[in-house]
Amino acid sequence: MGEAKRRKSEGNHWLDGLTDDERVVAESARLIYKRVVKGVEMVQGCYYCAFVLRKYLKEQHGISVTPVVGWAMHGDILFAHAWAEFNSKRIDLSLQQVSNQDVPTGDLLILDHVVEPGRVSYQYNVTTTDQIAAAAGPNRLAFANNMREIAADDARIDSYFLNAPSAYSYDAALARINAR
């Protein structure tokens, strides 16, 4: 069996073990990845992806996922990063496409399942440890803290989308998601 067929078979088997809500989350995440992230060749879209997933699942399916802002790390690489979680399982739709050649691609994660492997598997840290704070510096810390405040409040997420360029508004994402 070819590698692509094997991965598809494993992916289908993985989906069979999900609860109904997890299946909706997984299918929605795949759709957002395909039509929004890949559709516009999005890079540096981690906050956008986490917020779109939160708003879409809540409004369209009545399912609440939590946007999480923390840190992604691999070796000497450290950056503020966002993902979503459902039942303590990570959904990270943004690391497959990166804008900096010095930053390797990461895994496409849906409910902690590696759907597409990246060049590296990043470690995630929600807590800003003293070591992370020292490595990040004050500007990146302030940025991450601001994004945490947005992620923690639906009204601020709405404001984030209202202040985004029109191509990155929530309505633009919803149109891409619903495109046939």
Give the model confidence (pLDDT) of 74-129 as tens digits: 999 999 999 999 999 999 999 998 877 788 999 999 999 999 999 999 999 999 99
Residue identified by tokens 């633009």 is 172
Torsion sign, CA atoms 92, 58, 159, 144 = negative
Task: List pLDDT tens digits, range 140-174.
Answer: 999 999 999 999 999 999 999 999 999 999 999 99
Length of the chain: 180
Q: Indicate whether 55 pLDDT > 90.
A: yes
> Contact at 8 Å (CB) between 48 and 168?
yes
- Domain residues for the domain of 22 are 3-178
Tally of domains within the chain: 1
Vertex 14 angle, CA 50 and 178, to 5°? 45
**Which strand (E) or helix (H) includes residue 54?**
helix 46-56
Whole-prediction pTM value?
Answer: 0.90
User: Alpha carbon 81 to chain centroid distance?
Assistant: 9
